[in-house]
Amino acid sequence: MNLEQLHQTCSTCTACKLAPTRQNVVFGEGNPNARLMLIGEGPGQEEDRTGRPFVGQAGQLLDQILAAVGWSRADVYIANVVKCRPPNNRNPETDEVAACDHWLLEQIRLIRPQVIITLGNVPTQWALSTTLGITKTRGQWAEFKKLSAPIALLPMFHPAYLLRNAIRTVGGPKWLTWQDIKAVKAKLEAMPEKPDQTLEVEQTTLF
């Protein structure tokens, strides 16, 4: 299946208990050949209504963060760990992530990003198979190891968290986010263009 076929198939998924209350499956969007992929937690109200990732307030801040280093949404690919909105924006539950993450993993496999940004606790803990909180993992380069070749990964704060902590003090969350996105830019600039490789799911890490 290519990315478009995967999108079509995912759009009618009813594999977990989030299906009955959603309006739209939010598959993800952007450049299917992106060098950078961003992973959020799950759709909120505006995303559920429109079927598009990060289009609410947090999404607008994310656009600004990308714009700070000269990127637009068309340059990157944006997706979430779960594709349907958890009621009242609660965190997705373990069984929901377990039912849904094969979609995301296949997106990553097909897009073959050279760098992944995880936004906040839920995607970071999923991607790194860790229980460490985002304040410990943020800003530390790590590797995404669920596919046959490792992908550089930087955990960053979730933009919704930045909206709640908007003051731009040196050393504060917003300041740290600007350092992080500049580090991602520098990392990609230092890398050669995308190699022509095929990634496979690393079966040993799927548990």
Report if residue 25 touches ligand SF4, rule: CB under 6 A.
Answer: yes
In the bound complex, what is the minimum distance in angstroms from residue 50's beta carbon to ligand SF4? 16
The count of residues interacting with ligand URA (CB under 6 A) is 18
Report if residue 19 touches ligand SF4, rule: CB under 6 A.
Answer: yes
Among 5, 8, 9, 14, indicate the residue that binds ligand SF4 (CB under 6 A): 14
In the bound complex, what is the minimum distance in angstroms from residue 201's beta carbon to ligand SF4? 17
- Sheet with 77-80, strands from edge to edge, namely 29-30, 77-80, 36-40, 115-119, 151-156, 142-144
Length of the chain: 207
- 129: nearest Cα among 105, 157, 106, 109: 105
Tell me the β-bridge partners of 116: 37, 153
Number of H helices, E strands in the chain: 8, 6
Residues 172-201, interacting with ligand SF4 (CB under 6 A): none
CA distance between the termini of the chain? 23
Binding mask 162-191 for ligand URA (x = CB under 6 A): ------------------------------
Helix axes 3-10, 94-111, angle to 10 degrees: 160
Report if residue 155 touches ligand URA, rule: CB under 6 A.
Answer: no
Among 27, 35, 44, 112, indicate the residue that binds ligand URA (CB under 6 A): 44
Report if residue 53 touches ligand URA, rule: CB under 6 A.
Answer: yes
